[in-house]
A and B are shown apart, each in its own frame.
Chain A
C-alpha cells in the first residue's frame, strides 16, 4: 500500500514523497518500511514501540498510536511530523 512520507524522513526514501510498504498491521507495515528504507522506523517509533511525540501515523484519516491497528491494501498510510520549533 502507499505510504506518504514527510519531508524530514525523505532522506531515507531517496526523497520520494510516497513509497510502497506491506503489512496487515501498522507494526508490520512499519517493519516492512524499515526493511525497504533502513533506519526510518527508529526516527519515528521509539525502542518501546511508542510512536514518538509529535509524530503521527494516519490510517486514511484516522491518527493511530496503537501499532497493532490492522490495515489492508485499500488503506492509505500517511506519516506526519509536526514542524514546530524555532
Chain B
C-alpha cells in the first residue's frame, strides 16, 4: 500500500473510490481515503488543527452529513458539521448541553460519542458526553437538546459517576445503539456505570449487566457500576450484542439478558482486556478485538509489547491471533473508538494508535500494513461511505 499526503486548503480534500476513514485525534481531524483496490491511500488534513476531535462520524443514511465532536483546550464542547466531506464546516447552532438550571447543576465538559439515529428517523443523532449525559438532535446535528429520559432519570446520580470521582479523561457515556428493528429500543454504555437499555424510546432505562463482572468492586457482580469500554450490536442479527469490557469480552443473545464471557476463550497469557471491539458487517459470528495489558498498574499497551488483533469466527468460542505485518514490539494503545471495518469483500479492518499510526488489513486481519504515521494521538477511526466522491 502507498499513502499520499495532502495538506493545505479545504479544497485539497480528495476522496477516492474505495473506503474512507474519518480520523479524530487530540490535535485535529484527518480524512484517509483509498482507491477501489485499497492499495493507494490519500491522507487529507489537518482539519481543525489543535482542536480535540474526539469522534468523527458520517451519517450512513444520507451519506453526506459529517459531524465532529469537538473540544478545544479550555473552551467548552461543541459539534461541527459538514456536508461536503470537510471542505467547509459550520458549528452547531445549539451544541449539546445540559439544561440551564439543571437540577444537579451539571455542565457538559466534552462530547465523547456520536451515533446516528434509526434509519426511519433521518436527521436524528445522539451524543454521549462527559459527565454522562445523553443529547439528541432532530436536524442533522445543528441543534441539540438534553435527552431528559436519561439525564433526568431518578437513578441517574446512582448509576452514573461524577466527574471528580473517575479516570483522568473523565467518565463518559458511549456506545449509543438503536435497534435497527425498533427505533424505541435503545442501548447505551457508561464508563463506568455499565450497559443500560430502554424499550420505550428512552423514557425509562434499566441496567443490563447480568453475567458481566466488575472486579474493582467488593461484590464483583453488582447490578450496575461495570465498565463496558465498547458495546456493539450486529445489524444483521440485532438480538446479538458484543462488548469489550474493562473486565473481559462478552456476548449476549436477546431476549435473554445475560452476558457470556467469551474472553475466557482467549489465550491466558494475552487475556481479554481491551478497548475496542468491531464486528464483521456480513457475519454476526466474526469480531475483532485488540487486547491490552490489564495487569499490575494497567499499562494498556499490548501484552508483552507485542501488538496483535484477535479475531473470532465462531461468536467467541475460539480466537485466532492476527499479527502478520504488525511491529514485533510497540507500546501504543488502541482506544475504544479507534478501530473500524469497511464493507468490502474481504472486509477491511483498521485501527489507529495513541502513537499516531493507522494500520490496515484488507484480508480480514490476516496481514497488516501501516497506512499513516506521525499523526497526533488517535482517538477515533470510523469507516465512511460518502455518496459524493471527488
Docked complex Cα distance between A47 and B102 (Å): 9
Q: Which one of A15-23, A51-59, A61-69 is at the B interface?
A: A51-59
Docked complex Cα distance between A36 and B78 (Å): 19
Chain A neighbourhood of B74, CB < 8 A: 8, 52-55, 81-82, 84-85
Chain A neighbourhood of B168, CB < 8 A: none
- Closest-by-CB residue of A relative to B76 is A43
B78 touches A47 (CB 8 A): no
B76 touches A42 (CB 8 A): yes
- Closest-by-CB residue of A relative to B50 is A8
Chain B contact-residue range equals: 10 to 19
Whether, in the assembled complex, B366 has its beta carbon less than 8 Å from a beta carbon of chain A, the answer is no
- 28 inter-chain pairs at a CB distance below 8 angstroms, sorted by A residue, are A8-B74, A38-B93, A39-B78, A39-B91, A43-B72, A44-B75, A44-B76, A46-B76, A46-B97, A46-B107, A46-B108, A47-B97, A47-B100, A48-B98, A48-B101, A48-B105, A48-B106, A48-B107, A49-B100, A50-B107, A54-B74, A55-B75, A81-B74, A82-B74, A83-B73, A84-B74, A85-B73, A85-B74
Chain B neighbourhood of A84, CB < 8 A: 74
Max count, chain B CB within 10 A of own CB: residue among A42, A47, A49:
A47
B75 touches A8 (CB 8 A): yes
Please encode chain B, from 135 to 151, with 1 for each CB lying within 8 Å of some chain A CB and 0 for all others: 00000000000000000
CB A5 to nearest CB in B, in angstroms, measures 12
B102 touches A43 (CB 8 A): no
* Residues of A within 8 A of B (CB-CB), count: 22
Docked complex Cα distance between A55 and B75 (Å): 8
Known: A52-B74, A85-B73. A47 touches B98 (CB 8 A): yes
- Closest-by-CB residue of A relative to B101 is A48
Whether, in the assembled complex, A33 has its beta carbon less than 8 Å from a beta carbon of chain B, the answer is no
Whether, in the assembled complex, B225 has its beta carbon less than 8 Å from a beta carbon of chain A, the answer is no
Additional 14 contacts, C-beta under 8 A, given A39-B78, A47-B98? A8-B73, A8-B74, A38-B93, A42-B78, A43-B72, A43-B75, A45-B76, A46-B76, A47-B100, A47-B102, A48-B98, A53-B74, A54-B73, A81-B74
Chain B neighbourhood of A49, CB < 8 A: 100
- Closest-by-CB residue of B relative to A47 is B97
Chain B neighbourhood of A47, CB < 8 A: 97-100, 102, 107-108
- Residues 89-132 of B contacting A (Cβ, < 8 Å): 91, 93, 95, 97-102, 105-108
A43 touches B78 (CB 8 A): yes
Known: A47-B108, A48-B107. A81 touches B75 (CB 8 A): yes
- Closest-by-CB residue of A relative to B71 is A43
Docked complex Cα distance between A7 and B72 (Å): 12
B102 touches A48 (CB 8 A): yes
Chain A neighbourhood of B105, CB < 8 A: 48
- Residues 29-73 of B contacting A (Cβ, < 8 Å): 72-73
Docked complex Cα distance between A7 and B3 (Å): 34
Chain B neighbourhood of A54, CB < 8 A: 73-74
Whether, in the assembled complex, A77 has its beta carbon less than 8 Å from a beta carbon of chain B, the answer is no
Shortest beta-carbon contacts, A-B, top 7: A46-B107, A54-B74, A43-B75, A47-B97, A43-B76, A39-B91, A42-B76
Docked complex Cα distance between A8 and B99 (Å): 25
CB B274 to nearest CB in A, in angstroms, measures 26
Docked complex Cα distance between A11 and B187 (Å): 37
Docked complex Cα distance between A45 and B74 (Å): 11
Chain B neighbourhood of A46, CB < 8 A: 76, 97, 107-108
- Closest-by-CB residue of A relative to B90 is A39
Chain B neighbourhood of A44, CB < 8 A: 75-76
B72 touches A8 (CB 8 A): yes
B78 touches A81 (CB 8 A): no
CB A77 to nearest CB in B, in angstroms, measures 18
Please encode chain B, from 190 to 207, with 1 for each CB lying within 8 Å of some chain A CB and 0 for all others: 000000000000000000
CB B354 to nearest CB in A, in angstroms, measures 14
Docked complex Cα distance between A83 and B50 (Å): 12
Known: A42-B97, A47-B100. A52 touches B108 (CB 8 A): no
Docked complex Cα distance between A52 and B76 (Å): 7
CB A44 to nearest CB in B, in angstroms, measures 7
CB A56 to nearest CB in B, in angstroms, measures 10
Whether, in the assembled complex, A29 has its beta carbon less than 8 Å from a beta carbon of chain B, the answer is no
CB A36 to nearest CB in B, in angstroms, measures 15
